[in-house]
A and B are shown apart, each in its own frame.
Chain A
Amino acid sequence: MNPKNHTPLIFTLLGGLILLFIVSPLLGMFLATTPAQLFETSKDPEVVKSIWLTLWVSFAATMIFAIGAIPLSYFLARTKFRFKGIINGIVDLPIVIPHSAAGIAILGFVSRDSVLGKIGSSLGLNFVGHPAGIAIAMAFVSIPFLINAARDGFENVPVRLEKAALNLGASPIRVFFTISLPLAWKNVLSGLIMMFARGLSEFGAVIIIAYHPMITPILIFERFGAFGLKYARPVSVVFIVVCLVFFVLLRSLAKERKSHDA
């Protein structure tokens, strides 16, 4: 037999092992949790409250930071300048630094002694231990996903279409909202979903800014520390299910739009 023929088989086996590696811990956790435990947990007010908090804070962080992140992506896609590589590197920085370290950095940035902290205090807002602080921590670690996806999207929009729109008398801002953004929307939406999903799962940075109010990843950690694996597992399962439902829902929404466009 030709030795080349083994290649697909070896690749399938190796690939299958990796898939198994991803699926089996999750599956094990699901199987180890009884329906009764799930039912109890999903009625636990502390769990419900924390899931809602996690969902809305991540959503709010995504929406608020998108206001600046999308124009930045457009700028990076359209402008050539000397230190662009450095700027692109800065955008990716939150992905590569340890999230607990990111949390420490953000704490310095939003604490009462900082400029931002002082501005917050004057408005009666203390970021530490507040959903606003959680949102900042979530946004810090998840914003590269949005910026990178949106930048790729804008790069794929032919500059010529924008020029054609300008030549038809549209102002640059109208061109952005009627040509560039709609044509890059698939990538932008995908980036928004990724940023939202990444925000939901953030633990390291958030725990340093706000132990309370408790987002679900911290609640899971606390239940594990205080009561052990048995009590942490059902919360994890419920939260994963919620995250997956949202993720699938948003993805299918994005896909529906894509097929509609086609």
Chain B
Amino acid sequence: MMLKLNNISIKLGDFQLKNIDLELERGDYYVLLGKSGVGKTVLLEIIAGLIKLDSGKIILNNIDITHEKIQKRKVGIVFQDYSVFPHLSVKQNIAYPLKGKKLTHQQIESLIHEYAELTNITHLLNRGTQKLSGGELQRVALARMLVTKPECLLLDEPLASLDVQLKGDLRNLLRKINQKGTTILHVTHDYEEAIALSNKVAVMHDGEIIQKGFTKEVFQKPANEFVANFTGIKNFFFAEFSPINIARINGKIEIHVSNHDQIKNGKIIIRGEEIIISENHIDSSATNNFKGKIIQIIPYFSNFELIVDIGIEISVVISEDSLFKFKFKENSEAWVSFKSSAIKIIP
């Protein structure tokens, strides 16, 4: 185990973190997912030693670093506001952690260039930091941290204030950094980042971790309603099951389900990726077929979300290719179909 958080608790005014347990293996890309204000940043700052915890232990490579000095922890934090030193140039910022490390001038220069190249900021090295964009500052902060070769990299909402294009670029960079062997703990409120980057994810709510595990498992088998809602599953409805294999939603629409637990009331979720949309009715094994109207088309990074009104609003995810092939447009009619086995029932 590389980084182990053992029963961490802290009370800060009205806010508290309760019994946080988390384990990161070497090479993990672990995403801590939660709304703002749930304590994600506080947890990162506790690991980095910037905030003193009330109880619990932090173990890094089998060494207890709970009370270790900030500068000796070997965990590097990149803040959401980047915290690039405004009075130093880009190069001086990256060189900052290298000074006083008994390195020769040449070694320092070569390290600066290595990490400037990795983060694609070589052209900015001699610039001041005052006029850099958010994306550039983020890269400077990353290069400055990576040059220290931290055992574990802590990222606080690294993509939050970037535009779509930069987000994509930076995601690739973070993937590259992780693939090079850096263990990453990344805090975000955006489930797409978790899906895009992580191999493991922990969902935080109200100062507690309410579910953690491999990303796929957490997203496909949310432990409760909150996780299901939060992890971005849009098709989440209250349903009455009557007869038992029919889910009645808002008294309007009936969906065939496989209600093995024979429950009478509950929630159902349908993953947008598992819904088929077509221009005309198609005969298939899908037991649920509805005619509806496309009311909105929302572009995402690699695919599109179509909101279709079938009596209830349902979210369908399709690829860019499909969108252009079938020429789906807003306000046009379409058929949606999905199998009853694609529906998850949460009591």
Contact = CB atoms under 8 A, between A and B. Distances in A.
**Are A and B part of the same complex?**
yes
B83 A170 contact: no
B71 A164 contact: no
A167 B50 CA distance: 8
A262 B130 contact: yes
Contacts of A174: 100
Contacts of B71: 166-172
Nearest to B48: A167
B50 A178 contact: no
Interface string B45-76: 00011100000000000000000001111011
Contact of A182 (B87, B101, B145): B87
Contacts of B73: 167
A168 B79 contact: no
A168 B87 contact: no
B86 interface: yes
B115 to A, nearest CB: 13
A183 interface: yes
Given A167-B71, A167-B77, A168-B145, A183 B87 contact: yes
Interface in A158-177: 158, 160-161, 163-172, 174
Contact of B86 (A167, A170, A172, A183): A183
Contacts of B259: none
A160 B130 contact: no
A168 B96 CA distance: 8
Given A160-B81, A163-B50, A163-B70, A169 B148 contact: yes
A168 B141 CA distance: 11
A182 B96 CA distance: 14
The CB with the most chain B CB atoms within 10 A, among A158, A167, A182, is that of A167
Nearest to A168: B97
Chain B interface mostly helix, strand, loop or mixed? loop
B85 interface: yes
B200 interface: no
Nearest to B50: A163
Interface in A215-262: 261-262
A171 B71 CA distance: 7
Nearest to A161: B83
A63 interface: no
A98 B75 CA distance: 55
A157 to B, nearest CB: 10
B241 to A, nearest CB: 52
A179 B85 contact: yes
A164 B79 contact: yes
B70 A161 contact: no
Contacts of A171: 71
Contacts of A170: 71, 96-97, 100
B144 A168 contact: yes
Contacts of A178: 96
Interface string B88-107: 00000000110011000000
Nearest to A185: B87
A161 B71 CA distance: 14
A186 to B, nearest CB: 10
Nearest to A170: B71
The CB with the most chain B CB atoms within 10 A, among A161, A163, A164, A171, is that of A164
A163 B145 CA distance: 13
Interface of A: 158, 160-161, 163-172, 174, 178-179, 182-183, 261-262
Interface of B: 48-50, 70-73, 75-77, 79, 81, 83, 85-87, 96-97, 100-101, 130, 144-145, 148
Given A167-B49, A167-B70, 18 more contacts: A160-B81, A160-B83, A163-B50, A163-B70, A163-B83, A164-B77, A166-B50, A167-B48, A167-B50, A167-B73, A168-B76, A169-B148, A170-B96, A170-B100, A172-B71, A174-B100, A179-B85, A183-B87
